[in-house]
Structure 1
Amino acid sequence: MSIQLTEGVNLHIIPTEKYKTVRIVVKFRSPLDKETITKRALLSSILETNSQKYPSQTLLRSELSNLFGASFGSSVTKKGSVHVLSVSMNVVNEKYLTMSDSLLINSIEFLKEIIFNPNASDGHFDKGTFKREKENLVDYYDSIADDKQTYANLELQKLFFEEDSQKIPSIGTKEDLAKITETSLFIYYKQMLQQDLVDIYVLGDIDEEQVIAQLKEFPFEPRRFEKQELFYIPSEVEKINTKIEYQDIKQAKFNLGYKTDIFYLKENYYAGQLFNGLFGGFPHSKLFVNVREKESLAYYASSSLDTFRGMMIVQTGIDSKKMDLVKEIVTLQLKEMQAGNFTEEDIHQTKQMLKNQLLQSEDNSSAIIERTYSNKLVSNKTKSIEEWIRNIEKVTKEEIIEIAKLVTLKATFFLSEEVK
């Protein structure tokens, strides 16, 4: 059930008796903009740290303990051309408790406090909180350089995309962070509250009327939102952008970025899932079997799709001296897919693995909300798990081949020790 609380603010209730918990997620959505990505990442960190009523982390964690060990957190992510800040909470369903018949009410009040009463005064965030969370974010940025695969992926994105907002990660950059003050961030926080599109999800076995009445009291103002294209469409490949970087590392990383025409829930989406599973998504895939197992050219080799940005990434961990050979073998595997050199048994196995993934996701309340949110962003409808499975089953070999023919290499990044 979905209802509009006010213009631009919608509540979605997903009733289910499957879980012993209730999950509440508040999602703030804004156009992706390099000037605000880092602000939103820092804001996410500050909001989950304290508030006016709970001005320290100790007091905030104490309140979560009082709420029978409720979990709480916030995060940021990209979805194509939008940036999403999520505040989420998981709380035990009070029907399984003998001592609290107001746990859900108190949990929603906790979220209301966090969102609308941050630890701020006189037009700026608390200086101690701001300084600490800014330092924590700097430490996180610095740690990315130590995670070589994450670092390689981010460098690949810089080569693959033209727009700055797509080049940088969803958690922003150290350079942009340096420009933010406790006052400028508070001004942006007020802007986010007033202008972002908001979707609130409540999943669990609940009294719907009670939840609706309580959430209607959240002081959101009506907001307008210019309709924009959700998907980011990569430019056509005119030349392959390549970069080689040398560091003191033991295992080289060779990542390849491909332009695709596979977009979430569009006509060829399900065929795209089959293509990716066969190419590099599963242990029986061509990349895993031929690059890693048969040729022993890689410590790992896999592919993944970003169906909001028309991108496929191939990740490999290899010997520094074998980059050219790995690229040749990866290219050959794509040509094999384009030529239809895979069997009906391969397709059947991939369909089974995709279906198993979907069914397993039904055990995760967070995954259900994320899938529902993505569905509504694209089509304003919710597809049942049965409909997903039917669409996967219908995919033919010819459709997979057509998908493979649309996949084009656009960028490569090689991180290696210097070979002497």
Structure 2
Amino acid sequence: MTIKLNNQVNLHIIPTTKYKTVRIVVRFATPLDATFSSKRSLLASLMETNSLNFPDQVALSKKLADLYGAGFYVSVNRTGNEHYLSIGLNVINDNIAPNGVSILEDSVEFLKEIIFNPNIKDGKFDEETFNREKENLIIDIESIFDDKQTYASMSLQNLFFSDSKNQKTPSFGDIEQIKSETPKSIADYYNYMIQHDKIDILVSGDVEEGYVEKCFKNFGFSDREKLDTELFYKQPFKNIIQQKSEVLPVMQSKLNIGYHCDVYYHDDMYFPLMVFNGLFGGFPHSKLFLNVREKHSLAYYASSSIDPFRGFLTVQTGIDSSNRERVLRLVNEQLKDMTTGEFPDDLLEQTKKMLINQYLLSSDNQRAVVEQQYLFSNVPYADLSQDEWIKKMNAVTREDVQDVATTINLQAVYFMEGGK
């Protein structure tokens, strides 16, 4: 059930008796912008740790304890051409709250405090809090360099999206941009976000729809203009392969490969794409795992993943540096085999069964259900019943998978060579 609270402010209620908790997510959406990503990342850190009436983490933690140990977070991420700042709260259901207390009402009041009363005085964030959170965020981002697998993934993304600053900048922004922000600049951006972002409020749990609507009816958002952005980022294929190599102090070298893929979330070939990825590198029975890792012993790990909102397929491998060319050649041979249908029928059927099991398991995960409902609000044609989804998956043929494989083309190669 979706209720329009204001222009571009919608309340989505997902009643279910599966869970003992109620999950509430307030999501701010805006067109992806590298500078805004940095501002929003810092703003999320500030909103997660304090507010005007909860000026420090001790006061905030005490309030969450009063809500019977509610789980609270503020995060940033992106999908395609959109950037999200999400404020989430997990609380116990009113049905199991003691003394007839309405946890939902108290939770809504808490969220109103966090959203509409940030720790801003005289037009700027509290300076001491701001400086601490800014420093902590920079340290967190710098620590990503220590996780070489994540660093390799980011480096490949930087190559693949070399023509788009917005796409190659991570969702948490850029350190140099974050360093330039001030208590006033982030307060100014907060006011802009509150007035302009598209707002979706999602509530999942054993709740009564009319009561939820009553709780959020006068939440506080005003009307806003419709977002002028296309969710899917469709980058044209380029004949030039982007390549980068660097030597870093790691024992295990990493070869990450990026492919251009002209198939997107829930278009006609989306289900074949999922099956292709499962067969290619998504599961332990995939060609990358069985051939690159097991048969030829050329990789410590080898897998693939898809980003169906940006037409981006990646292969991640951990290898000995001397095997770089052999691994790259062997990976591309596996892709070629997919185009000619060189995969057995039993593995095709096993892949479809495993994808169906994943789908069914996700329907039991409250967080996944909420995220799925949000996607449906943006991509209505993806809202399939369970039977329809399973039917589409089972209908995928060998020829469909081959057709998908032919649309996938090498676009970027990043190599991290281990060294002193």
TM-score, normalized by the shorter chain, greater than 0.5:
yes
Secondary structure, aligned partner of 2:141: helix
TM-score between the two structures when normalised by the length of structure 1: 0.98
Matched, 1:9 2:9: yes
8 Å Cα contact 2:49-2:57 kept in structure 1:
yes
Q: Aligned partners of 2:382, 2:266: CA distance in 1, in Å? A: 11
Instruction: Give the corresponding residue for 1:245.
Output: 246
C-alpha distance in 1 between matches for 2:177 and 2:50: 24
User: Is the Cα contact below 8 Å between 1:237 and 1:408 reproduced in 2?
Assistant: no
Deviation string 1:296-353 (CA, Å, 9 cap, x unpaired) is: 1001000000000000010001111111010011010000101100122111100111
Q: Which amino acid aligns with 2:292?
A: V
Equivalent position of 2:116 in the other structure: 116
Shift of 1:386: 2.9
In structure 1, how many angstroms separate the alpha carbons of the residues matched to 2:228 and 2:38?
Answer: 23
Q: For 1:45, what is the secondary structure of its paired residue? A: helix
- SS of equivalent to 1:104: helix
Which residue of 2 is the match for residue 34 of structure 1?
Answer: 34
Q: Is this contact kept in 1: 2:251–2:419, CA < 8 A?
A: no
CA shift in 2, pair 1:50/1:380, >3 Å: farther
Amino acid at match of 1:332: E
Residue 294 (structure 1) aligns with: 295
CA shift at 1:30, angstroms?
Answer: 0.2
Distance 1:381 1:418, change over 3 A: closer
**Where do residues 319-338 of structure 1 align in structure 2 (5 Å cutoff)?**
319-338=320-339
How far did 1:383 drift? 2.5
1:49 & 1:373 partners in 2: Cα distance?
26
Aligned residue number for residue 377 of structure 2: 376
Which string of whole-angstrom CA distances, capped at 9 and with x for unpartnered residues, describes residues 234-270 of structure 1? 1212210000000111001100000001211111111
Q: Secondary structure at the match of 2:334?
A: helix
Give the conservation status (yes or no) of the 8 Å contact 2:9–2:198.
yes
- 1:65 to 2:47 alignment: no
Q: Aligned-pair distance for 1:418?
A: 4.1
Match of 1:312 in 2: 313
Matched residue SS, 1:298: coil
Alignment partners' CA distance in 1, 2:382 and 2:101: 33
Give, in whole Å, the separation in 2 of the partners of 1:25 and 1:385.
24
| Contact in 2 for aligned 1:271/1:399 (Cα 8 Å) | yes
1:7 Cα deviation after fit: 0.2
Which amino acid in the other structure matches residue 192 of structure 1?
M
Q: Which amino acid aligns with 2:144?
A: I
Following the alignment from structure 1 to structure 2, what is the Cα–Cα distance between the partners of residues 174 and 270? 38
The aligned counterpart of 1:44 is 44
Letter of the aligned partner of 1:164 in structure 2?
K
**CA positional deviation for 1:100:** 4.0
Q: What CA deviation, in whole Å up to 9, does each residue of 1:141-199 have, x standing for no partner?
A: 11011000110111111110111010111001111101111101011011101100011
Q: Is the 8 A contact 1:194 1:223 kept in 2?
A: yes
Rate the CA distance shift 1:251–1:31 in 2: closer, same or farther, 3 A. Answer: same
Q: Decide whether the 8 Å contact of 1:375 with 1:383 is kept in 2.
A: no
> Is there any run of 5+ residues in structure 1 with no aligned partner, and where?
none
Question: What is residue 227 of structure 1 aligned with on the other side?
Answer: 228
> Tell me, what secondary structure is at the counterpart of 1:99?
helix
**By how many angstroms is 1:385 displaced?**
3.0
SS in structure 1 of the partner of residue 98 of structure 2: coil
Please name the residue that 2:104 is paired with.
104
Taking the aligned partners of 1:59 and 1:226, their CA distance within structure 2 comes to 36
Q: What is the Cα deviation at residue 387 of structure 1?
A: 2.3
3-state SS of the aligned residue for 1:416? strand
SS at match of 2:13: strand
Equivalence for 1:355 = 356
Give 1:390's aligned residue: 391
Q: Which residue of 1 aligns with 2:129?
A: 129
- Tell me how far apart the structure 1 counterparts of residues 99 and 252 of structure 2 sit (CA, whole Å): 55
Q: Does 1:19 align with 2:19?
A: yes
Partner deviation per Cα, 1:22-45 (whole Å, 9 max, x = no partner):
000011100001120100111111
Aligned amino acid, residue 302 of structure 1: S
Distance in 2 of aligned mates of 1:200 and 1:98: 26
Matched residue type, 1:180:
E
1:70-125 superposed Cα distances (whole Å, 9 cap, x missing partner): 10001111100010111001001121233342111101111111011111111111
Could you say which residue in structure 2 is the equivalent of 1:143? 143
8 Å contact kept, 1:159–1:411: yes
Query: 1:80 is matched with which residue?
Result: 80
Aligned to 2:191: 190
SS, match of residue 300 in structure 2:
strand
Which segment drifts farther, 369-378 or 105-114? 369-378
Secondary structure of 2:99's counterpart equals coil
Q: In angstroms, what is the RMSD of aligned CA positions? A: 1.2
Distance 1:143 1:298 in 2: 26
Is the contact made by 2:158 and 2:169 (CA closer than 8 Å) also made in structure 1?
Answer: yes
In the aligned structure 1, how far is the partner of 2:346 from the partner of 2:268? Answer: 24
Counterpart amino acid of residue 237 in structure 1? K
Give unpaired runs (5+ residues) of structure 2: none
CA contact (8 A) 1:156 1:257 kept: yes
Q: Counterpart in 2 of 1:261?
A: 262
Superposed structure 1 runs of 4+ greater than 4 Å apart: none
Q: Aligned equivalents of 1:182 and 1:133: distance in 2? A: 11
Letter in 2 for 1:113: E
User: Sequence identity of aligned pairs in percent?
Assistant: 48
Amino acid paired to 1:341: E
Contact map agreement 1:11 1:201 (CA 8 A) in 2: yes
Contact 1:338 1:404 in 2 (8 A): yes
Separation (CA, whole Å) in 1 of partners of 2:201 and 2:247: 46
> Match of 2:343, as an amino acid?
F
Question: How far apart are the structure 1 equivalents of 2:363 and 2:227?
Answer: 33
Deviation, structure 1 residue 380: 6.6
Instruction: Compute the displacement of 1:226 (Å).
Output: 3.9
In the alignment, the residues of structure 2 paired with residue 388 and residue 128 of structure 1 have an alpha-carbon distance, to the nearest angstrom, of 51
Secondary structure class of the residue paired with 2:146? coil
Give 3-state SS (helix, strand or coil) of 1:53's partner. coil
Cα shift at 1:219: 1.2
Q: Which amino acid aligns with 1:182?
A: P
